[in-house]
Structure 1
Protein backbone atom coordinates (compact mmCIF):
# COMPACT_ATOMS: atom_id res chain seq x y z
CA UNK A 1 0.00 0.00 0.00
CA UNK A 2 2.82 2.37 0.90
CA UNK A 3 4.63 1.44 -2.30
CA UNK A 4 1.53 2.29 -4.36
CA UNK A 5 1.17 5.64 -2.61
CA UNK A 6 4.84 6.41 -3.24
CA UNK A 7 4.46 5.55 -6.94
CA UNK A 8 1.39 7.79 -7.26
CA UNK A 9 3.13 10.65 -5.44
CA UNK A 10 6.22 10.32 -7.63
CA UNK A 11 4.10 10.29 -10.78
CA UNK A 12 2.32 13.50 -9.65
CA UNK A 13 5.65 15.23 -8.98
CA UNK A 14 7.04 14.25 -12.38
CA UNK A 15 3.85 15.32 -14.16
CA UNK A 16 3.78 18.67 -12.39
CA UNK A 17 7.43 19.37 -13.18
CA UNK A 18 6.94 18.43 -16.81
CA UNK A 19 3.92 20.72 -17.09
CA UNK A 20 5.83 23.61 -15.55
CA UNK A 21 8.75 23.03 -17.91
CA UNK A 22 6.43 23.02 -20.91
CA UNK A 23 4.71 26.21 -19.74
CA UNK A 24 8.05 27.95 -19.30
CA UNK A 25 9.26 26.88 -22.74
CA UNK A 26 5.97 27.65 -24.50
CA UNK A 27 6.56 30.57 -26.88
CA UNK A 28 4.57 33.78 -26.58
CA UNK A 29 2.84 33.97 -29.95
CA UNK A 30 1.03 37.24 -29.27
CA UNK A 31 1.41 40.05 -31.77
CA UNK A 32 4.19 42.50 -30.93
CA UNK A 33 5.51 45.62 -32.63
CA UNK A 34 8.91 46.98 -33.54
CA UNK A 35 9.76 50.03 -31.43
CA UNK A 36 10.26 53.52 -32.80
CA UNK A 37 13.56 52.97 -34.61
CA UNK A 38 14.36 53.48 -38.26
CA UNK A 39 14.73 49.73 -38.82
CA UNK A 40 16.36 46.71 -37.19
CA UNK A 41 18.13 43.73 -38.69
CA UNK A 42 16.67 40.24 -38.66
CA UNK A 43 19.29 37.53 -38.10
CA UNK A 44 19.26 33.84 -38.87
CA UNK A 45 19.97 33.01 -35.21
CA UNK A 46 19.87 34.50 -31.71
CA UNK A 47 22.87 36.82 -32.04
CA UNK A 48 24.41 39.57 -34.13
CA UNK A 49 27.03 37.17 -35.45
CA UNK A 50 24.39 35.25 -37.38
CA UNK A 51 23.64 36.01 -41.00
CA UNK A 52 21.39 39.00 -41.66
CA UNK A 53 18.17 37.95 -43.36
CA UNK A 54 16.82 41.44 -43.86
CA UNK A 55 15.41 44.35 -41.91
CA UNK A 56 12.11 45.20 -40.28
CA UNK A 57 10.82 48.77 -40.35
CA UNK A 58 9.80 50.57 -37.19
CA UNK A 59 6.23 50.07 -36.12
CA UNK A 60 5.68 46.94 -38.18
CA UNK A 61 3.73 44.14 -36.44
CA UNK A 62 5.52 40.83 -35.89
CA UNK A 63 4.57 37.57 -34.21
CA UNK A 64 6.89 36.37 -31.46
CA UNK A 65 7.51 32.62 -31.57
CA UNK A 66 10.53 31.93 -29.34
CA UNK A 67 13.37 33.48 -27.32
CA UNK A 68 16.93 32.50 -26.43
CA UNK A 69 18.07 31.50 -22.95
CA UNK A 70 19.30 35.00 -22.06
CA UNK A 71 16.21 36.73 -23.36
CA UNK A 72 18.32 39.14 -25.42
CA UNK A 73 17.00 37.84 -28.75
CA UNK A 74 13.55 36.67 -29.79
CA UNK A 75 12.38 34.77 -32.83
CA UNK A 76 9.67 36.53 -34.80
CA UNK A 77 7.68 36.22 -38.00
CA UNK A 78 7.24 39.51 -39.84
CA UNK A 79 4.37 40.64 -42.06
CA UNK A 80 6.14 39.19 -45.12
CA UNK A 81 6.22 35.72 -43.57
CA UNK A 82 9.97 35.75 -42.88
CA UNK A 83 11.23 34.07 -39.70
CA UNK A 84 14.29 35.44 -37.96
CA UNK A 85 15.80 36.68 -34.73
CA UNK A 86 15.84 40.29 -33.51
CA UNK A 87 17.01 41.99 -30.33
CA UNK A 88 14.28 41.82 -27.70
CA UNK A 89 14.84 45.42 -26.56
CA UNK A 90 13.30 46.62 -29.83
CA UNK A 91 10.15 44.57 -29.35
CA UNK A 92 7.17 46.22 -27.64
CA UNK A 93 3.60 45.13 -26.99
CA UNK A 94 1.95 48.44 -27.84
CA UNK A 95 1.44 49.63 -31.42
CA UNK A 96 3.87 52.27 -32.60
CA UNK A 97 2.91 55.73 -33.74
CA UNK A 98 3.15 54.65 -37.37
CA UNK A 99 0.71 51.84 -36.68
CA UNK A 100 -1.77 53.96 -34.73
CA UNK A 101 -1.56 57.08 -36.92
CA UNK A 102 -4.14 55.94 -39.52
CA UNK A 103 -6.54 54.96 -36.75
CA UNK A 104 -6.02 58.29 -35.02
CA UNK A 105 -6.57 60.12 -38.31
CA UNK A 106 -9.78 58.17 -38.86
CA UNK A 107 -10.96 58.98 -35.34
CA UNK A 108 -10.10 62.64 -35.92
CA UNK A 109 -12.06 62.65 -39.18
CA UNK A 110 -15.07 61.09 -37.44
CA UNK A 111 -14.80 63.59 -34.59
CA UNK A 112 -14.67 66.52 -37.03
CA UNK A 113 -17.63 65.08 -38.93
CA UNK A 114 -19.63 64.86 -35.71
CA UNK A 115 -18.57 68.37 -34.69
CA UNK A 116 -19.67 69.96 -37.99
CA UNK A 117 -23.45 69.61 -37.30
CA UNK A 118 -22.91 70.98 -33.81
CA UNK A 119 -21.07 73.99 -35.23
CA UNK A 120 -23.90 74.58 -37.69
CA UNK A 121 -26.43 74.32 -34.87
CA UNK A 122 -24.42 76.75 -32.75
CA UNK A 123 -24.18 79.17 -35.68
CA UNK A 124 -27.95 78.92 -36.21
CA UNK A 125 -28.60 79.54 -32.52
CA UNK A 126 -26.26 82.53 -32.55
CA UNK A 127 -28.17 84.00 -35.50
CA UNK A 128 -31.46 83.46 -33.67
CA UNK A 129 -30.04 85.14 -30.57
CA UNK A 130 -28.84 88.12 -32.62
CA UNK A 131 -32.25 88.41 -34.30
CA UNK A 132 -34.02 88.25 -30.93
CA UNK A 133 -31.63 90.85 -29.53
CA UNK A 134 -32.42 93.16 -32.44
CA UNK A 135 -36.16 92.61 -31.91
CA UNK A 136 -35.77 93.25 -28.18
CA UNK A 137 -33.88 96.49 -28.84
CA UNK A 138 -36.55 97.63 -31.30
CA UNK A 139 -39.35 96.84 -28.84
CA UNK A 140 -37.45 98.60 -26.06
CA UNK A 141 -37.03 101.66 -28.27
CA UNK A 142 -40.75 101.66 -29.09
CA UNK A 143 -41.56 101.26 -25.40
CA UNK A 144 -39.31 104.18 -24.50
CA UNK A 145 -40.99 106.33 -27.17
CA UNK A 146 -44.43 105.33 -25.88
CA UNK A 147 -43.40 106.18 -22.31
CA UNK A 148 -42.14 109.57 -23.48
CA UNK A 149 -45.45 110.25 -25.25
CA UNK A 150 -47.39 109.16 -22.17
CA UNK A 151 -45.26 111.46 -20.00
CA UNK A 152 -45.82 114.36 -22.41
CA UNK A 153 -49.60 113.73 -22.47
CA UNK A 154 -49.72 113.51 -18.69
CA UNK A 155 -47.81 116.80 -18.42
CA UNK A 156 -50.14 118.45 -20.96
CA UNK A 157 -53.18 117.14 -19.08
CA UNK A 158 -51.81 118.45 -15.80
CA UNK A 159 -51.14 121.86 -17.37
CA UNK A 160 -54.65 121.94 -18.83
CA UNK A 161 -56.19 121.05 -15.47
CA UNK A 162 -54.14 123.75 -13.76
CA UNK A 163 -55.21 126.30 -16.38
CA UNK A 164 -58.86 125.30 -16.02
CA UNK A 165 -58.68 125.58 -12.24
CA UNK A 166 -57.06 128.98 -12.57
CA UNK A 167 -59.77 130.07 -14.99
CA UNK A 168 -62.49 128.92 -12.62
CA UNK A 169 -60.74 130.65 -9.77
CA UNK A 170 -60.46 133.88 -11.70
CA UNK A 171 -64.07 133.70 -12.85
CA UNK A 172 -65.30 132.92 -9.35
CA UNK A 173 -63.14 135.67 -7.86
CA UNK A 174 -64.38 138.20 -10.40
CA UNK A 175 -67.98 137.26 -9.69
CA UNK A 176 -67.41 137.57 -5.96
CA UNK A 177 -65.79 140.99 -6.36
CA UNK A 178 -68.66 142.10 -8.57
CA UNK A 179 -71.18 140.98 -5.98
CA UNK A 180 -69.33 142.83 -3.25
CA UNK A 181 -69.20 146.02 -5.31
CA UNK A 182 -72.86 145.70 -6.16
CA UNK A 183 -73.70 145.24 -2.50
CA UNK A 184 -71.72 148.32 -1.58
CA UNK A 185 -73.40 150.38 -4.27
CA UNK A 186 -76.81 149.27 -3.15
CA UNK A 187 -76.12 150.52 0.34
CA UNK A 188 -75.42 154.02 -1.00
CA UNK A 189 -78.51 154.31 -3.14
CA UNK A 190 -81.24 156.66 -1.65
CA UNK A 191 -84.10 154.91 -0.09
CA UNK A 192 -87.48 155.48 -1.65
CA UNK A 193 -89.93 157.19 0.69
CA UNK A 194 -93.21 155.57 1.40
CA UNK A 195 -96.20 157.48 0.13
CA UNK A 196 -98.54 158.48 2.92
CA UNK A 197 -102.14 157.39 2.60
CA UNK A 198 -103.40 160.38 4.63
CA UNK A 199 -102.73 163.08 2.07
CA UNK A 200 -106.09 162.50 0.54
CA UNK A 201 -107.90 163.21 3.78
Structure 2
Protein backbone atom coordinates (compact mmCIF):
# COMPACT_ATOMS: atom_id res chain seq x y z
CA UNK A 1 0.00 0.00 0.00
CA UNK A 2 2.87 2.32 0.90
CA UNK A 3 4.55 1.45 -2.41
CA UNK A 4 1.41 2.42 -4.30
CA UNK A 5 1.26 5.77 -2.46
CA UNK A 6 4.95 6.38 -3.13
CA UNK A 7 4.51 5.70 -6.85
CA UNK A 8 1.50 8.03 -6.91
CA UNK A 9 3.45 10.82 -5.21
CA UNK A 10 6.34 10.34 -7.65
CA UNK A 11 4.05 10.55 -10.63
CA UNK A 12 2.39 13.66 -9.17
CA UNK A 13 5.76 15.30 -8.60
CA UNK A 14 6.86 14.49 -12.10
CA UNK A 15 3.66 15.78 -13.58
CA UNK A 16 3.97 19.04 -11.61
CA UNK A 17 7.62 19.44 -12.61
CA UNK A 18 6.86 18.97 -16.33
CA UNK A 19 6.87 22.17 -18.39
CA UNK A 20 4.45 22.34 -21.27
CA UNK A 21 5.73 23.88 -24.56
CA UNK A 22 4.12 24.79 -27.78
CA UNK A 23 5.02 22.22 -30.38
CA UNK A 24 8.54 23.03 -31.63
CA UNK A 25 10.81 21.29 -34.05
CA UNK A 26 13.79 19.49 -32.61
CA UNK A 27 16.33 17.05 -34.05
CA UNK A 28 17.85 13.91 -32.63
CA UNK A 29 21.57 14.41 -31.94
CA UNK A 30 24.14 13.03 -34.32
CA UNK A 31 24.52 9.55 -32.94
CA UNK A 32 23.65 6.24 -34.53
CA UNK A 33 20.38 6.02 -32.63
CA UNK A 34 18.85 6.91 -29.30
CA UNK A 35 16.43 5.11 -27.02
CA UNK A 36 13.07 6.59 -26.13
CA UNK A 37 11.02 5.80 -23.04
CA UNK A 38 7.42 5.77 -22.03
CA UNK A 39 7.95 8.36 -19.27
CA UNK A 40 10.15 11.31 -18.24
CA UNK A 41 12.96 9.40 -16.47
CA UNK A 42 15.25 6.42 -16.73
CA UNK A 43 12.82 4.48 -14.52
CA UNK A 44 10.35 4.13 -17.37
CA UNK A 45 10.58 1.32 -19.86
CA UNK A 46 12.18 1.62 -23.26
CA UNK A 47 9.66 1.74 -26.06
CA UNK A 48 11.90 2.06 -29.12
CA UNK A 49 14.63 4.05 -30.83
CA UNK A 50 14.97 7.09 -33.08
CA UNK A 51 17.58 7.56 -35.78
CA UNK A 52 20.16 10.28 -35.60
CA UNK A 53 19.08 13.47 -37.32
CA UNK A 54 15.39 12.54 -37.30
CA UNK A 55 13.03 15.48 -36.97
CA UNK A 56 10.61 15.42 -34.00
CA UNK A 57 8.18 17.81 -32.30
CA UNK A 58 8.87 18.98 -28.77
CA UNK A 59 5.71 18.80 -26.68
CA UNK A 60 6.94 19.49 -23.14
CA UNK A 61 9.95 19.18 -20.84
CA UNK A 62 10.50 17.96 -17.31
CA UNK A 63 12.97 20.20 -15.51
CA UNK A 64 13.49 17.76 -12.65
CA UNK A 65 14.55 14.78 -14.76
CA UNK A 66 15.84 16.76 -17.81
CA UNK A 67 13.60 14.77 -20.12
CA UNK A 68 11.46 15.99 -23.02
CA UNK A 69 8.24 14.64 -24.43
CA UNK A 70 8.35 14.41 -28.23
CA UNK A 71 6.26 13.27 -31.16
CA UNK A 72 8.06 11.56 -34.04
CA UNK A 73 7.14 11.37 -37.71
CA UNK A 74 4.90 8.36 -37.11
CA UNK A 75 2.82 10.24 -34.51
CA UNK A 76 4.25 8.24 -31.64
CA UNK A 77 4.62 10.20 -28.34
CA UNK A 78 7.63 9.26 -26.20
CA UNK A 79 10.21 10.75 -23.82
CA UNK A 80 13.90 11.37 -24.46
CA UNK A 81 16.74 13.04 -22.54
CA UNK A 82 16.96 16.73 -23.34
CA UNK A 83 20.67 16.40 -24.01
CA UNK A 84 19.88 14.22 -27.01
CA UNK A 85 17.82 16.93 -28.72
CA UNK A 86 19.19 19.72 -30.86
CA UNK A 87 17.68 22.90 -32.27
CA UNK A 88 19.77 22.55 -35.41
CA UNK A 89 19.31 19.92 -38.10
CA UNK A 90 21.78 17.08 -37.87
CA UNK A 91 24.89 16.91 -39.99
CA UNK A 92 23.29 14.12 -41.98
CA UNK A 93 20.63 16.62 -43.04
CA UNK A 94 22.90 19.63 -43.34
CA UNK A 95 25.72 17.97 -45.27
CA UNK A 96 23.60 17.35 -48.40
CA UNK A 97 22.30 20.91 -48.13
CA UNK A 98 25.83 22.23 -47.76
CA UNK A 99 26.94 20.09 -50.67
CA UNK A 100 24.10 21.53 -52.76
CA UNK A 101 25.08 25.04 -51.73
CA UNK A 102 28.70 24.32 -52.60
CA UNK A 103 27.61 22.96 -55.97
CA UNK A 104 25.47 26.05 -56.64
CA UNK A 105 28.32 28.35 -55.64
CA UNK A 106 30.71 26.35 -57.80
CA UNK A 107 28.35 26.66 -60.75
CA UNK A 108 28.04 30.40 -60.14
CA UNK A 109 31.81 30.73 -59.97
CA UNK A 110 32.12 28.75 -63.19
CA UNK A 111 29.55 31.02 -64.83
CA UNK A 112 31.37 34.06 -63.49
CA UNK A 113 34.66 32.70 -64.80
CA UNK A 114 33.09 32.00 -68.18
CA UNK A 115 31.47 35.44 -68.29
CA UNK A 116 34.71 37.07 -67.19
CA UNK A 117 36.70 35.17 -69.80
CA UNK A 118 34.18 36.19 -72.46
CA UNK A 119 34.33 39.82 -71.40
CA UNK A 120 38.12 39.69 -71.29
CA UNK A 121 38.20 38.19 -74.79
CA UNK A 122 35.82 40.91 -76.04
CA UNK A 123 37.95 43.61 -74.42
CA UNK A 124 41.11 42.12 -75.91
CA UNK A 125 39.40 42.01 -79.29
CA UNK A 126 38.37 45.64 -78.96
CA UNK A 127 41.88 46.60 -77.87
CA UNK A 128 43.33 44.68 -80.81
CA UNK A 129 40.91 46.46 -83.13
CA UNK A 130 41.87 49.78 -81.58
CA UNK A 131 45.54 48.93 -82.02
CA UNK A 132 44.88 48.12 -85.67
CA UNK A 133 43.03 51.41 -86.16
CA UNK A 134 45.82 53.30 -84.41
CA UNK A 135 48.43 51.60 -86.58
CA UNK A 136 46.42 52.46 -89.70
CA UNK A 137 46.21 56.08 -88.58
CA UNK A 138 49.94 56.13 -87.91
CA UNK A 139 50.66 54.68 -91.34
CA UNK A 140 48.32 57.18 -92.99
CA UNK A 141 49.92 60.01 -91.06
CA UNK A 142 53.40 58.89 -92.13
CA UNK A 143 52.21 58.63 -95.70
CA UNK A 144 50.86 62.17 -95.57
CA UNK A 145 54.12 63.37 -94.07
CA UNK A 146 56.06 61.74 -96.89
CA UNK A 147 53.75 63.27 -99.47
CA UNK A 148 54.18 66.67 -97.78
CA UNK A 149 57.96 66.34 -97.95
CA UNK A 150 57.76 65.46 -101.65
CA UNK A 151 55.40 68.38 -102.29
CA UNK A 152 57.72 70.75 -100.44
CA UNK A 153 60.66 69.55 -102.54
CA UNK A 154 58.63 70.09 -105.71
CA UNK A 155 57.67 73.58 -104.57
CA UNK A 156 61.31 74.34 -103.81
CA UNK A 157 62.37 73.09 -107.25
CA UNK A 158 59.62 75.12 -108.90
CA UNK A 159 60.75 78.22 -106.98
CA UNK A 160 64.32 77.65 -108.17
CA UNK A 161 63.15 77.29 -111.76
CA UNK A 162 61.00 80.40 -111.38
CA UNK A 163 63.97 82.35 -110.05
CA UNK A 164 66.09 81.13 -112.97
CA UNK A 165 63.43 82.19 -115.48
CA UNK A 166 63.05 85.55 -113.78
CA UNK A 167 66.78 86.10 -113.92
CA UNK A 168 66.85 85.05 -117.59
CA UNK A 169 64.03 87.48 -118.43
CA UNK A 170 65.75 90.26 -116.54
CA UNK A 171 69.00 89.57 -118.35
CA UNK A 172 67.16 89.56 -121.65
CA UNK A 173 65.57 92.91 -120.84
CA UNK A 174 68.93 94.28 -119.84
CA UNK A 175 70.40 93.05 -123.14
CA UNK A 176 67.51 94.53 -125.12
CA UNK A 177 67.81 97.77 -123.26
CA UNK A 178 71.56 97.84 -123.70
CA UNK A 179 71.18 97.16 -127.41
CA UNK A 180 68.65 99.95 -127.82
CA UNK A 181 70.86 102.32 -125.89
CA UNK A 182 73.86 101.33 -128.00
CA UNK A 183 71.96 101.89 -131.24
CA UNK A 184 70.77 105.27 -130.00
CA UNK A 185 74.27 106.23 -129.00
CA UNK A 186 75.63 105.13 -132.33
CA UNK A 187 72.96 107.11 -134.17
CA UNK A 188 73.68 110.09 -132.00
CA UNK A 189 77.32 109.95 -132.96
CA UNK A 190 76.73 109.41 -136.65
CA UNK A 191 73.96 111.87 -137.35
CA UNK A 192 75.96 115.03 -136.62
CA UNK A 193 78.57 113.99 -139.12
CA UNK A 194 76.02 113.14 -141.75
CA UNK A 195 74.12 116.42 -141.60
CA UNK A 196 77.04 118.90 -142.13
CA UNK A 197 78.30 117.00 -145.12
CA UNK A 198 74.97 117.60 -146.83
CA UNK A 199 75.25 121.39 -146.17
CA UNK A 200 78.72 121.54 -147.70
CA UNK A 201 77.50 119.72 -150.80
CA UNK A 202 74.67 122.14 -151.16
CA UNK A 203 77.01 125.09 -150.96
CA UNK A 204 79.37 123.66 -153.63
CA UNK A 205 76.48 123.06 -155.99
CA UNK A 206 75.40 126.68 -155.66
TM-score range, shorter chain: 0.5 to 0.7
User: Given the superposition, is the C-alpha separation of residues 42 and 187 from structure 1 closer, same or farther in structure 2, using an over 3 Å criterion?
Assistant: same
Alignment of 1:99-138 (within 5 A): 99-107=93-101, 109=103, 122-138=116-132
User: Given the superposition, is the C-alpha separation of residues 94 and 71 from structure 1 closer, same or farther in structure 2, using an over 3 Å criterion?
Assistant: farther
Which structure 1 residue ranges, 5 or more long, are not aligned? 1-21
| Structure showing greater Rg | 2
Q: Equivalent of 1:148, from 130, 142, 155?
A: 142
The answer to whether the aligner puts 1:59 opposite 2:60 as a matched pair is no
Shift of 1:146: 0.8
Equivalence for 2:8? none
Equivalence for 2:89? 95
Equivalence for 2:66? 72
1:134-153 deviations in whole A, cap 9, x for unaligned? Answer: 32222222111111110100
SS at match of 1:85: strand
Contact 2:66 2:82 in 1 (8 A): yes
Equivalence for 2:23? 29
- Greater shift, 168-177 or 157-166, is seen at 168-177
TM score, norm. by length of structure 2: 0.64
SS at match of 1:95: coil
Give the superposed CA RMSD: 3.6
Contact 1:71 1:88 in 2 (8 A): no
TM score, norm. by length of structure 1: 0.65
Equivalence for 1:191? 186
Which structure 2 residue ranges, 5 or more long, are not aligned? 1-15
